[in-house]
């Protein structure tokens, strides 16, 4: 996959392009991406994705709490795995936001990219004041010579529509399985393992600590997880148990995501780790002392092993 930080004229000209923020790359997003890929293959055209960084909410509400389901690295990896030929990641700032919807279509999509076909979701809006919508895309596409496909929202088995906001609500409320149903996979947190207090090692539960400042904060508590570790060029997955919280038993202040991998003896410091959150076990809690904490950790590990055991 080729990655461009701006709409470079002449690159992948005549491509079929899916457009959106794609935070989470959930089932609805993937339907848009799959349709663009299908049309590109039918037309013998390059398959591209156009997205924006940072997320517009970060620009318009800069002091909002962390909300991203997939920060840039994770989103880019997922879009690459979808078979994207060219990814345009445009810088979103107030200057870009001031561009009219008509200029976005005529200047960017038509003149600079020479787009052959656009695929978007039904709720896609763009341009200053969100003045553009699929109807405008279709109207201008007909005049400027590119096609437009608009997809209906995608629902899970219970009929709930896949949306980033609904997924965030599930995760913030301790419902990772409900979030996974809309994502089409377990939600992951990834990052480089950082040094911690080494307290877990002293208690018999060494943990890999990830900073998650750029991620949505899930419900504080203990989770059954699977952690992906790069080993010899491949990703090896290990069952484990994780805690997201501020360590109330030790009067902690900062929030940490700490993962204990079952039956793993390697050194993880400085390595990149992907942690898939499978199920919520219990809320974060303050214990009366070390013995009570260790007993709870043992029970957490027992429950996590049972949850993750093959059916």
Q: Could you list the pLDDT tens digit for every one of the 311 residues in the chain?
A: 999 988 776 778 999 999 999 999 999 999 999 999 999 999 999 999 999 999 999 999 988 899 999 999 999 999 999 999 999 999 999 999 999 999 999 999 999 999 999 999 999 999 999 999 999 999 999 999 999 999 998 887 788 889 999 999 999 999 999 999 999 999 999 999 988 766 656 566 889 999 888 899 999 999 999 999 988 778 999 999 999 987 655 556 678 899 999 989 888 888 899 999 999 999 988 887 888 888 999 999 999 999 999 87
| Shared domain check, 203 and 139 | no
Residues 6+ apart with CB under 8 A from 180: 186, 187, 278
pLDDT, position 27: 96
* pLDDT for res 5: 87
Does the residue 171 lie in any domain? no
CATH code assigned at 240 = 2.40.30.30
For residue 285, the model assigns a pLDDT of 84
> What's the pLDDT score for residue 250?
55
Alpha helices in the chain (DSSP H): 27-43, 56-60, 72-81, 94-97, 101-103, 134-144, 164-172, 176-183, 199-202, 290-308
Looking at residue 9, what is its pLDDT? 64
Last residue of a domain, one of 151, 169, 198: 151
Q: Single out the catalytic residue among 35, 188, 190, 258.
A: 258
* pLDDT score of 251: 54
Q: DSSP code of 64?
A: S
Q: Are residues 125 and 264 in the same domain?
A: no
Q: How many structural domains compose the chain?
A: 2
Task: Assess whether 116 and 246 both reside in one domain.
Answer: no
**Angstrom distance (rounded) from CA 300 to CA 243:** 10
Domain boundary among 151, 177, 197: 151
- The answer to whether residues 93 and 6 touch, using CB atoms and an 8 Å cutoff, is no
Q: Is 258 a catalytic residue?
A: yes
Residue 170 in any domain: the answer is no
b/e burial code for range 151-168 (CB count within 10 A of at least 16 → b)? beebebeeeeebbbebbb
Domain final position from 104, 135, 151? 151
Residue 205's pLDDT is what? 81
231 & 293 share domain: yes
Shared-domain flag, residues 7 and 133:
yes
> What is the per-residue pLDDT for 134?
97
pTM of the model: 0.92
Domain around 288: 186-308
- How much is the pLDDT for 173? 98
């Amino acid at each position: 996959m080729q990655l461009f930080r701006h709409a470079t004229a002449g690159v992948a000209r005549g491509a079929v392009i899916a457009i959106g923020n794609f935070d989470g790359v959930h089932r609805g997003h993937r339907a848009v991406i799959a349709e663009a890929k299908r049309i590109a293959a039918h037309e013998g055209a390059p398959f591209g994705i156009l997205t924006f960084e940072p997320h517009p909410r970060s620009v318009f509400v800069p002091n909002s709490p962390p909300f991203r389901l997939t920060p840039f690295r994770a989103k880019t990896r997922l879009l690459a795995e979808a078979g994207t030929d060219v990814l345009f990641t445009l810088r979103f700032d107030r200057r870009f936001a001031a561009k009219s919807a008509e200029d976005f279509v005529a200047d960017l999509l038509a003149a600079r990219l020479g787009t052959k076909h656009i695929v978007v979701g039904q709720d896609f809006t763009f341009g200053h004041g969100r003045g553009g919508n699929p109807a405008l895309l279709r109207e201008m596409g007909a005049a400027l010579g590119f096609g437009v496909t608009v997809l209906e929202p995608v629902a899970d088995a219970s009929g709930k529509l896949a949306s980033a906001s609904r997924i965030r609500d599930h995760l913030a409320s301790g419902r990772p399985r409900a979030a996974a149903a809309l994502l089409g996979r377990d939600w992951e947190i990834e990052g480089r393992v950082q040094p911690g207090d080494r307290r877990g090692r002293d208690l018999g539960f060494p943990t890999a600590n990830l900073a998650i400042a750029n991620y949505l904060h899930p419900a504080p508590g203990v989770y059954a997880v699977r952690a992906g570790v790069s080993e010899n060029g491949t990703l090896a997955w290990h069952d484990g148990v994780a805690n997201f919280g501020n360590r109330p038993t030790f009067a902690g202040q900062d929030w940490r995501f700490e993962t204990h991998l079952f039956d793993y003896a390697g050194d993880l410091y400085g390595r990149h780790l992907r942690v898939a959150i499978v199920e919520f076990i219990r809320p974060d809690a303050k214990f009366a002392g070390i013995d009570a904490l260790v007993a709870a950790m043992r029970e957490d590990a027992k429950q996590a092993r049972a949850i993750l055991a093959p059916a």
